[in-house]
Amino acid sequence: MNQRIAPIASVAQEQAQQAQPVAQAPGATVRLTAAQALVRYLAAQRVACEDGSGRTEPLFGGVFAIFGHGNVAGLGEALYQYRHELPTLRAHNEQAMAHSAIAYAKAHFRRRMMAVTTSIGPGATNLVTAAALAHVNRLPVLLLPGDIFVSREPDPVLQQIEDLQDGGLSANDALKPVSRYFDRIVHPAQLLSALPRALRVLTDAALCGPVTLALPQDVQATAWDYPASFFTPRLVTFHAPAPVQTEIDAAVTQLLRAKRPLIVAGGGVLYSRAAPQLQAFAAAHGTPVVETQAGKGALAWDDPLNAGAIGVTGSPAANALASDADCVLAVGTRLQDFTTGSNSLFANARVVSVNANGFDTLKLNSVAVQADAKLALAALDEALVNWRAEADWSANALQLANDWRTSVERLTHAAQDRNCLPYDADVIGAVQRSSSRSYTEDIVVCAAGTLPAELHKLWRAGQPGAYHVEYGYSCMGYEIAGGLGAKLARPDREVIVMVGDGSYLMMNSEIATSVMLGAKLIIVVLDNRGYGCINRLQQAVGGAPFNNLFEDCAQGPLGAPRIDFASHARSLGAQAEHVANVAELEAALQRARAASRTYLISIDTDPARTTEDGGWWWEVAVPEVSPRAAVRDARERYDGKLAERGGRVTQATMKPSPHSADDAEDDTPSNA
């Protein structure tokens, strides 16, 4: 039976209005299968609406499901029974649908989320990459893979992995290292403890990440008498640690000594809804702000104190300030190597690290403040009421930031001055020019390759959430699936997916899902005919061009394919076209914005060119021994950089050279 569904947001709002707590008699029970109990419990969890109206809506926006023998009979039947309370969405790839669920949570700043269910075997193991992505990015997603029979009577069942040393293992055990909480439900009663624990992890800023509840198929179908009160609708409380006074005091002591302070804004600023507090703190204390990939959008692009992107993919303004700062206040960032320039960028500063996750506060020998970003910024602001950065430092930061905004304008408008293939900056400029509202309304989605570097520098994010780039795990294939999740979360916003041809070929099936759900995306495919980013990195460390661009790959007698991305997208139900240049791209973007369904535009781009401005050293180990002179030269430069990192680091010594094709300090990110 074909059934037309409303957008997830509409379904959630309707159910929020209809749902009312039902009084239960003390001791009352209800007989349900484990699968029915799980679904009913998820449907009962509610959160306050973001509009401040006082209404509530479901915590779980829905369940992505690909059914198989391990989940169709138990969980599938339960999802059908409660389909009006908890929508079920069909996808085309297990990893992709988990990416969509993760993106949905990211677009909601972790205040709403989704679940994902698969069968046993390949369906379950396809979740591992997505779970790792959620783990690294501290994002909530509930994974519900089917599992083998607890009874073991029919063993070995289809798709079962038989471990010859441990009879209790299944394929789902591969999810343990990439789950923040893992449980295998071997009896229906275990849901009474497992589900509240799972919910705590999903809604706790310090614990947040993927939760896996493995569901043996016989247990899914087993009935038990559950307390009726277990399913009473409840308003979920989100947990985040308040600052400890002794840690605030230590941070204040360090900041009071600072004359040249810098704030690094990470994703935690967005997830704690601390953007207003960040802006107020920076303005009150004359302190410039730089942004990580996850934190971009925490401060509006045109705020005078926003010096732009930090680190390996950073702006020249941000990195100049970072290398000269005497104190770095890192707020809500896990301080990965692209942010810290492989621990070289902040070498002249003492770091004060504010993070809800205590583990993340311990890096770079930081002064640690384990706390929610909003609460910590408020406490620091109150204690530092009369403190400001040196006037010359603030003035210099304002000038550097303004100069960089001027450079961005130049870099993103240069296509008309060249008679050659465009590169990423040209395409980014065209996308942003295509809408007068793009700085505030559009959501750009991207992940691995060259594009995150260019977007980090050049995209103008006007508000929190306008920049949706997955770069914690740098996962090729996230882009289109992530765009779908963002659109389901924000159906009123234009979601623009920018993706390279390599990532597109890895995972594109959710174009069909977006068409089926009426979740329109604008997809811009930059076709450089291979893995251009890694090709440049390969040469930067002395390697020969090999196995990245099509022209450097092993080929049969027919040669490399010439892929028609527009035709492919049309075959999946989207509208699509290929354009020859930036002018045609701008016209096509207007047609895409006017379209009622997913619209793909492909354009050929230069695989070699990147934005020369900015960047910082990134440590990629170079072989000590090689027959190639280029590798030996790269190793010599690498050893020199390691030595510089051990001494005083300056922008002059660590800045990448944009002019040498085999320079080891290439400033573009990889998918590694």
What six digits make up the tokens of 480? 């289109």
C-beta separation of 656 from 338 below 8 A? no
Using 50, 70 and 90 to split pLDDT, how confident is the model at 664? very low
Q: Considering only 106-120, 286-300, 644-658, which range has the smallest mean pLDDT?
A: 644-658
Residue 536 in 3-state DSSP? helix
DSSP at 275: H
Is residue 520 pLDDT above 60, yes or no? Answer: yes
pLDDT bucket at 298, cuts 50 / 70 / 90: very high
Tell the residue number behind the tokens 């896990």, with chain if given. Answer: 334
pLDDT of residue 4: 45
Q: Above 70 in pLDDT, residue 525?
A: yes
Among 142, 159, 221, which residue's Cα sits nearest to residue 187? Answer: 221
Give the three-state DSSP class for 234. Answer: strand
Judge contact between 305 and 299, C-beta under 8 A. yes
Which bin fits 128, alpha (ψ -120 to 50), beta or left (φ > 0)?
alpha
Poorest-pLDDT segment among 333-342, 394-403, 502-511, 656-665: 656-665
pLDDT, mean of residues 42-50: 95
User: Is residue 494 predicted with pLDDT exceeding 60?
Assistant: yes
What is the band of 8 on the pLDDT scale with cuts at 50, 70, 90?
A: low
Mean pLDDT, residues 423-429: 96
| pLDDT over 90 percentage in the chain | 87
Tell me what pLDDT residue 199 has: 98
pLDDT at 668 over 70: no
* Weakest-pLDDT range from 18-22, 63-67, 266-270, 437-441: 18-22
* pLDDT of the residue at 414: 84
Position 16 scores a pLDDT of 43
Phi, psi of 355 (to 5 degrees): -160, 140
Least confident interval from 402-416, 456-470, 510-524: 402-416
Spatial contact of 115 and 94, defined as CB atoms under 8 Å apart: no
Q: Which fold has domain 8-235?
A: Rossmann fold (3.40.50)
Burial of 476 (0-12, 13-18, 19+ CB in 10 A): buried
- For the chain, the C-alpha Rg in angstroms (whole number) is 25
**What pLDDT, on the 0 to 100 scale, is given for residue 50?**
83
- The stretch 39-60 carries a mean pLDDT of 94
Whether 581 shows a pLDDT value over 70: the answer reads yes
Q: Which residue has better confidence, 347 or 591? A: 591
Do 478 and 470 touch, CB atoms closer than 8 A? yes
User: Kind of pairing, strands 113-118 and 181-184?
Assistant: unpaired
Say whether pLDDT at 365 is over 80. Answer: yes
Count of CB atoms within 10 A of residue 52's CB?
Answer: 7
Tell me: pLDDT of 441 over 90.
no
Domain 245-404 falls under CATH 3.40.50.1220: yes
Q: What is the mean pLDDT of residues 482-502?
A: 97
How big is the chain, counted in residues? 672
Which pLDDT score is estimated for 419?
75
How open is the CA angle 135-262-239, to the nearest 5 degrees? 35
DSSP state, residue 656: P
Report, as an integer, the average pLDDT of 57-77.
97
Check residue 437 and give its pLDDT.
Answer: 63
Q: Which amino acid is at 10?
A: S
Q: Per-domain residue ranges for the chain?
A: 8-235, 245-404, 412-549+562-604
Mean pLDDT on 277-300:
98
Contacts of 143 (CB under 8 A, 6+ apart): 98, 115, 116, 127, 131, 175, 179, 210, 211, 212, 213
- The enclosing H or E element of 443 equals strand 443-446
Which tens digits make up the pLDDT trace of 188-199?
Answer: 999 999 999 999
Q: Which of 376-380, 475-479, 639-643 has the lowest mean pLDDT?
A: 639-643
Whole-structure pTM value: 0.93
- Per-residue pLDDT, averaged over 478-501, amounts to 98
Nearest to 360 by CA among 294, 435, 285: 294
Give tens-digit pLDDT for 217-265: 999 999 999 999 999 999 999 999 999 999 999 999 999 999 999 999 9
Mean local confidence (pLDDT), 44-55: 91
**373-425 pLDDT, tens digit each:** 999 999 999 999 999 999 999 999 999 999 999 999 999 998 765 678 999 99
Q: Residue 102: name the closest of 499, 609, 473, 393 by CA.
A: 473
Across the chain, what does the average pLDDT equal? 92
Q: Which of 46, 39, 269 is nearest to 142 (CA)?
A: 39
Which range (21-35, 48-62, 355-369) has the least confidence?
Answer: 21-35
Among candidate residues 118, 296, 110, the one with its CA nearest the CA of residue 205: 110
647 confidence band (pLDDT: 50, 70, 90): low
Domain 412-549+562-604: CATH superfamily, name plus number: Thiamin diphosphate (ThDP)-binding fold, Pyr/PP domains (3.40.50.970)
pLDDT of residue 11: 46
Q: With bands split at pLDDT 50, 70 and 90, how would you rate the model's confidence at 657?
A: very low
